[in-house]
A and B are shown apart, each in its own frame.
Chain A
Amino acid sequence: MTAPLDADHDTAAKAVQVTDLSVDLGGRPVLRGVDLQIRPGEVVAVLGTNGSGKSTLIKTVVGLLPAARGEVRLFGTPVPRFRQWKRVGYVPQRITAAGGVPATVYEVVSSGLLSRRRLFAPLGAAGKAAIEDALRVVDMADRRKDAVAELSGGQQQRVLIARALVSDPELLILDEPTAGVDLASQQIFADAIRERVARGTTVVMVSHDLGPMDALIDRSVILRRGRIVYDGPPHASQTHAHVHHTHADSDDSGWLTS
C-alpha cells in the first residue's frame, strides 16, 4: 500500500531523474541505458574521458538533444513537457562563436533573465538588481560595458555563469565550466558556486578537471563509453577514475599507432 505512494513521492522529490536513457548522435549510440537520480541540494560532478558521453548527458538533461530511449525528468516533469525553465540555470561549454555584432557583458547577462520576463515587457528594477548582483558575484561588475568578445576566455566563462545565476535557479547545470580557464577565474567560479550551494542549489557539473571546485563535490558519477561505471562519494571515484584512465590508455591507443 505504501510502496507506490513512496515511489510517487520519490519522483517528485528528485531534481533530475534519468531513467534508462539512450541517446544517439548521427546514428551512433553515445549513451546507453543511463540511470541517474539527483536529489535537491546535491552537488554532483559528471566525470569521464573525451567521448565518454558526459556532455551528451548534460545536453539531453536540458533538452537540447532528444532521447532515443528512456526519459529525463526535471523536478518530476519529463523534459519535452517541462516548462518551468526559470528553475534551471545552464552554463554551456563556451560562448558561441556566432555573434557578428558586439554585445556587452551586461547584455549577455541580462538574457539570463528571459525565462522570467514577459514578451514586450521592459526590464524591471528587480531584474536590474539581479544583474548587478550576478556581475558582482563573478567579479565582472567593472567590465559590464565591455564587449564580451574582447574578454579573456576565463572572463567570458565568468559572464556565462553570471548569465545562469541571474535568474536564481534551483538547479544549476554546468558543462565543462573550468576547461581552459585560468586559476584566478576558476577560484571566483568556485566561490560563486559555493555561495549557491550554501543556499541549497542543486549543482550538476561536467568536467575533466575540477580544480578548486573539487572541495564542493559531494558525489561523482563517472561515464565510460556511454555507461555509468561509478556513482558514489567523490574521493573513492578519483582513484577509480585513475584506474580507468590508464586502462583506457592501454585499451584505446591502438587505432592510430598500429
Chain B
Amino acid sequence: MTLFELEFMQRALIAGLLTGLSAPAIGTYLVQRRLSLMGDGIGHIAITGVALGLLTGTAPVLTAVIVAIAGATAIELVRARGKASGDVALALLFYGGIAGGVLLIGLAGQGAATLNTYLFGSLTTVSASDLYVVVGLAVAVLVIAIGLGPQLFAVCQDEEFARVTGLRVQLLNLLIAVMAAVTVTVAMRTVGLLLVSALMVVPVATAQQITRSFRSTFVTACAIGVTACLAGIITSYNANVAPGATIVVLALAGFVVAATVGTLLRRRSGRIAPLDDEEPEVGVPAPAPHVVSPTHPHAHNPDCGHKKVEHGDHVDYVHDGHLHAAHGDHWDEH
C-alpha cells in the first residue's frame, strides 16, 4: 500500500495543496504591506481558539477560526489607529494568545502532545470534517485574493492613492486581516500555528528573488508554496517527523537557492546593461557655447506666433532670423 492510498495521507495532501496555495497568496499582500509578521501574531492568538475548542468539546478548527478572526480584526484596528503604542498592544495580544491557549489546554486536561499537533502540524489528525472546513475556507480565500487582486494590490501598494480612487480602504484592509486569519486556521493542520507565518512569507521572499512584477511574484510564490507543502508532507511521512518543520525547512532551502541564483542573474544582467546614470556618454554633443540674446524684449510662448523648432530637449523660437530659447530669466541665441 503506497502512501497515496492511505486515507489520512490523501486528506493531508489535499489540505497541504490548499495551504500551499492560500498561504503565499495572502502572504504576498502581507509582505507588500510590510506586515510579514502579522501571520505569526494571528497564529499565536489562534492557539487560544484551539484551546477553547478542546475545553468546550467543539471542533478546534471552528473555534480557532473565530478567535483568529477576532484577533486579526483587533490587530488591524490597532494598526489603523496608528498610535505609537500599537506595537506594544500587538505584543500584548500575541503573548496573551499563546499564554491563554496553553493555560486553557491545561484546564481541558490535554497534554503537550495534543498542543504539539496544533503548533507544528500533524498528518494523522486531519479528520474528514476538518477537511471540509479547510477546503471551504481555502477556496474562499483564493477566490477573494485573485478576484479582488487589483483592489487589494492598490491598497497594499499605495493606501492614500487607493482612498482617492474611492476604494473602501478600511474595509479592504480588514478583509486582508480576516483572510490572513482564515489562512492561519487552514494551515494549522499541516504546518502548524507556530510555523504558518513562514509559509506566508518565505515563498514570497523566494519568488521576488527572480520576479519583477506583482502578478508573477504572486503566481511563483503559490507554486513554491504548493511544492514545499506536498514535498514536505511526503518527506515527513517517510521520515516520521512533524510536517510543519519539514515544509518550512524545504521552503527555506528553496529561498537559499533562489537568492543565490537571483544574485548571480542580477550581477550578470547588471554587467550587460549598466544603470542609466552609469552609461558612458558616447556621441553626446558638447554643450553649445552659451550666448545670451542681448536685451530681448519679447517673451516667447507656445502661442506667440513665432515658428517653433524642436531642439534636443527644448523648443527654439524663430525670431527675426535668430533662434531663441528660454534659459532661466533670459533668452539664449541658439
Residues of A within 8 A of B (CB): 59, 62-64, 83-86, 88, 90, 92, 95-96, 98-104, 106-108, 110-112, 114-115, 117, 119-120, 123, 145-147, 152, 163, 167, 183-184, 187, 194, 215
Contact = CB atoms under 8 A, between A and B. Distances in A.
B313 A107 contact: no
A101 B160 contact: no
Interface of B: 28, 31-34, 36, 147-148, 150-151, 153-154, 156-167, 204, 208, 211-215, 217, 276-277, 301-302, 313-314
The 10 closest A-B CB pairs, nearest first, are A85-B166, A111-B154, A90-B164, A101-B32, A115-B165, A104-B213, A120-B147, A100-B31, A147-B212, A103-B214
B212 A102 contact: yes
Contacts of B157: 96, 98-99, 103, 108, 111
Contacts of A119: 147-148, 151
Contacts of B214: 101-104, 107
A101 B217 contact: yes
Most buried by B among A83, A101, A108, A163: A101
Nearest to A152: B276
A92 B213 contact: no
Contacts of A115: 165-166
Contacts of B213: 102-104, 106-107, 145, 147
B153 A107 contact: yes
A211 to B, nearest CB: 11
Contacts of B147: 119-120
A214 B322 CA distance: 24
A207 to B, nearest CB: 17
A92 B296 CA distance: 38
Contacts of A187: 313-314
B32 A88 contact: no
Contact of B28 (A64, A84, A98, A101): A101
Given A101-B204, A102-B217, A64 B163 contact: yes
27 contacts: A63-B163, A64-B164, A84-B166, A86-B165, A96-B157, A98-B159, A99-B32, A99-B158, A102-B214, A103-B32, A104-B212, A106-B213, A107-B153, A107-B213, A107-B214, A107-B215, A114-B150, A114-B154, A114-B162, A114-B165, A114-B166, A119-B147, A119-B151, A120-B147, A146-B212, A152-B276, A187-B314
Given A110-B150, A114-B167, A96 B212 contact: no
A102 B159 CA distance: 16
A85 B313 contact: no
A85 B164 CA distance: 7
B158 A64 contact: no
A232 to B, nearest CB: 19
A86 B167 CA distance: 11
A64 to B, nearest CB: 6
A110 B157 CA distance: 12
Contacts of A110: 150
Nearest to B211: A102
B152 to A, nearest CB: 10
B156 to A, nearest CB: 7
A92 B157 CA distance: 13
A61 to B, nearest CB: 10
A92 B147 CA distance: 27
Interface core residue of B163, B167, B204, B213 (most chain A CB under 10 Å): B213
Contacts of B158: 92, 95-96, 98-99, 111
Nearest to A173: B164
A84 B148 CA distance: 20
Given A99-B32, A120-B147, A152-B276, A111 B162 contact: yes
A204 B314 CA distance: 25
B161 A101 contact: no
Contacts of B162: 111, 114
A119 B151 CA distance: 8
Contacts of B204: 101
Contacts of B156: 98-99
Given A62-B164, A86-B166, A146-B212, 5 more contacts: A99-B32, A102-B211, A103-B153, A107-B213, A184-B313
A191 to B, nearest CB: 10
Contacts of A114: 150-151, 154, 162, 165-167
Contacts of A99: 32, 156-158
A38 to B, nearest CB: 17
A251 B314 CA distance: 39
A97 to B, nearest CB: 9
A112 B165 CA distance: 7
A220 B66 CA distance: 55
A83 B166 contact: yes
A168 B166 CA distance: 15
A107 B160 CA distance: 17
Given A88-B164, A110-B150, A115-B166, A98 B33 contact: yes
Contact of A64 (B36, B160, B212): B160
A16 to B, nearest CB: 14
Nearest to A120: B147
